[in-house]
Amino acid sequence: MRIAILSDIHANWHAMEAVLRDCPPVDETICLGDVVGYGGDPKRCVDEVTHRNWPTLVGNHDRACTDPEILEWFNDDAASVVRWTIEVIGDERLEWLRGLPDSQVKLEVLLVHASPRDHIYEYVLDTAVAQANLELLNSGICFHGHTHVPGIFGLTNGAVTHEYRVDTFRLEGPALVNPGSVGQPRDGLPTASYGIWDVDNNSFEFRRVRYDIKGAQRAIRKARLPERFALRLESGR
């Protein structure tokens, strides 16, 4: 069995479309949340996810669309995009976002948006946070997103390790596996990021895909969203 793992599409239809074209045959696709936010095509992205009936978790931007009180934790520009999304996305799509779960267990593997101890909001970016979450997993595996930075945190002889390259890794627990972001990568590479979980071989393949960045920028500008969200797509930062 092969499962595509996607996260942080962030209303970037051009990146999502490129991933769909690139993705090899799989048995299932799972989205780890944040279908909306930052980008200019929230309706199209939500419609594609729902049309394909992907199991999808709630991300912080998805949650903010149905619980605007948490916008106090967002910077002003990100909050402005959430408010715009609420205005344009329509009631049916908002109800879909409202119903998204914050976690799922698939074949004894935990799937969340952010981290095992905080499913929606915590950023796993440093070794201290990684270690605390790895210890919760015991010897298990967790797929998560949220940071927009692909990689695998693990524990070897009590020390935290972190690995990433566009390659295939054998999954050995405990491990935190982040496929990166489809729609707004932040690791310095301006390419959509996702991965393939090969259940039978117990491995994960990181994949990167070029997409029409200028098209995604046009969508952001057409919606009159903050310019910095268009510009950062060029640098992957």
**What are the angstrom distances between the C-alpha of 102 and each of 15, 84, 120?**
24, 23, 7
pLDDT band of residue 173 (cuts 50, 70, 90) is confident
Number of structural domains (the chain) is: 1
Average pLDDT, the chain: 96
Dist. CA 34–CA 179, nearest whole Å? 13
Mean pLDDT, rounded, for 51-71: 96
Residue 138 predicted with pLDDT over 90: no
* pLDDT for the residue 234: 96
**What's the CATH code of the domain at 103?**
3.60.21.10
Q: In the Cβ-directed half-sphere of 122, how many Cα atoms lie within 13 Å?
A: 15
Tell me which residue range forms the domain holding 144: 2-235
Contact predicate 147/186, CB 8 Å: yes
Residue type, 193: S
Mean pLDDT, rounded, for 135-152: 96
* pLDDT for the residue 106: 95
Residue 156 predicted with pLDDT over 90: no
pTM over 0.85: yes
Dist. CA 27–CA 75, nearest whole Å? 38
pLDDT band of residue 166 (cuts 50, 70, 90) is confident
Residue type, 30: I
Handedness of CA 152, 10, 54, 135 (dihedral sign): positive
In tens, the pLDDT along 88-107 reads: 999 999 999 999 999 999 99
Residue 68 predicted with pLDDT over 90: no
Of 27, 23, 1, the C-alpha closest to 192 is 23
Contact predicate 155/134, CB 8 Å: yes
Q: What is the separation, in whole angstroms, between the first and last Cα of the chain?
A: 33
**CB atoms inside a 10 Å sphere around CB 64:** 26
In tens, the pLDDT along 6-46 reads: 999 999 999 999 999 999 999 999 999 999 999 999 999 99
Residue 109 predicted with pLDDT over 90: yes
**CB atoms inside a 10 Å sphere around CB 224:** 10
Mean pLDDT, rounded, for 169-195: 96
Q: In the Cβ-directed half-sphere of 179, how many Cα atoms lie within 13 Å?
A: 34
Q: 91: which residues sit within 8 A by CB, 6+ positions away?
A: none
**CB atoms inside a 10 Å sphere around CB 58:** 25
* pLDDT for the residue 130: 96
In which residue are the tokens 């945190």 written? 153
* pLDDT for the residue 110: 98
**What are the angstrom distances between the C-alpha of 4 and each of 7, 179, 196, 205, 207?**
10, 10, 5, 9, 10
pLDDT band of residue 139 (cuts 50, 70, 90) is confident
* pLDDT for the residue 219: 98
